Amino acid sequence: MIIRKLNSMFRILLFFSINYFWINIHASAQLNVANKYGLYIINDINSYEKSIAADTNKRMVNILNCLPGIILDLRYATSNNFMNQKLYSRVHTTYLRAIVANALQKVSAELKNENITLKIFDAYRPHSITEKMWKIVKDDRYAADPAKGSGHNRGIAVDLTLVDMITKNELSMGTGFDNFSDTAHIDFTALPSRVLHNRNLLKSVMEKYGFISLDTEWWHFSLPDAAGYELLDLSFDDLKRIDRMYNKNDRTRKKRT
């Protein structure tokens, strides 16, 4: 009788163990299915949470919470961009990986000593938006090929300029944002000395804190080692919910300590 009960319990345990194993295998496979470009893209909250659990530097953070005084001019949340259409809806802030935001804090602190602040045009960009842009500008000097993904999709790239904190005016950079001409190139020097000074100031302070520039866009900077950060296609609403949840958990932990 006892042996029969033990056998029955063993069969039940074996059944649940096998099912648990296959459920996890299936879930893992779902997270690792390549898209039509052969890329692995995080597009759901559970996969994102697993990623940042392994490396907290990968957490996407709200720039306004990290960089007080920063100026946002999020062009793709308006129709004032090369696409002439609003690409981000209900967006009032932007996001970057925590490691990028920390580096920008150092940039901002140094520039503040010269009464200069940063204005951000774009930071995180969902992969699906990159696909839309590529349909209009199929030139990888100025738009990212969705078959490769971009630093913006990985949350490690930022488009920005400098603003005089006293006059509130942008420092002249020779061209505006998203100017697809040689004049916007980093090595273009047929510009007034003041413009060259401003570009060099932006480039030098960004590079000082670990960023690398893009040859064809004076406003674009990113962290190196892009492959270490997953491509994302999370909505801004998703990021907002996740950020609120983590901020709430952070406050709870601080109260307990």
Residues designated as active site = 217
Q: Which two tokens stand for residue 205?
A: 């302070």
Q: Is 147 exposed, middle or buried (0-12, 13-18, 19+ CB in 10 A)?
A: middle
Number of CB atoms found within 10 A of residue 207's CB: 13
What is the Cα–Cα distance from 235 to 81, expressed in whole angstroms? 20
Rounded Cα distance, 99 and 83, in Å: 30
Please report which residue ranges of 87-172 form alpha helices under DSSP H.
98-112, 127-136, 151-154
What is the rounded distance in angstroms from the CA atom of residue 59 to the CA atom of residue 99? 8
Residue 201 CA to its chain's centroid (Å): 23
Residues 239/245/251/256 CA torsion (nearest 10 deg): -140
